């Protein structure tokens, strides 16, 4: 895989990216390309990290859903507490 350093022209940060970024607007290459080979991690390590990340996402979504349903229940309670018209 060939990678190089690029600079984001809008925000000014630098990052290491693959060749395809050179064709994207907003990036300029600031180094020569180098060939890099990344040794893969063990499958079990990757799966465990992925499961951990998904569990965190799930917890976040559940908390957001709980907060929203609590707010809906509060609004329902307020509506039901309003005096009825005669």
pTM, entire model: 0.56
Q: What is the pLDDT of residues 68-79, one digit of tens each?
A: 999 999 999 999
* Statement: residue 86 has pLDDT above 70: no
pLDDT of 51: 98
Over residues 81-86, the mean pLDDT reads: 82
Question: What helix, strand, coil percent values describe the chain, rounded to 5?
Answer: 50, 20, 30
List of residues 6+ apart from 9 with CB closer than 8 A: 26, 27, 28
Q: What is the pLDDT of residues 5-53, one digit of tens each?
A: 999 999 999 999 998 888 889 999 999 999 999 999 999 999 999 999 9
């Amino acid at each position: 895989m060939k990678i190089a350093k690029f600079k984001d022209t809008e925000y000014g940060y630098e990052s290491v990216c693959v060749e395809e970024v050179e064709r994207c607007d907003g990036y300029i290459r600031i180094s020569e390309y180098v060939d890099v080979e990344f040794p893969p991690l063990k499958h079990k390590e990757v799966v465990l990290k992925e499961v951990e990340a998904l569990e965190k996402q799930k917890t976040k979504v559940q908390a957001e859903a709980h907060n929203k349903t609590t707010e809906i229940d509060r609004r329902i309670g307020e509506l039901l507490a309003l005096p009825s018209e005669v």
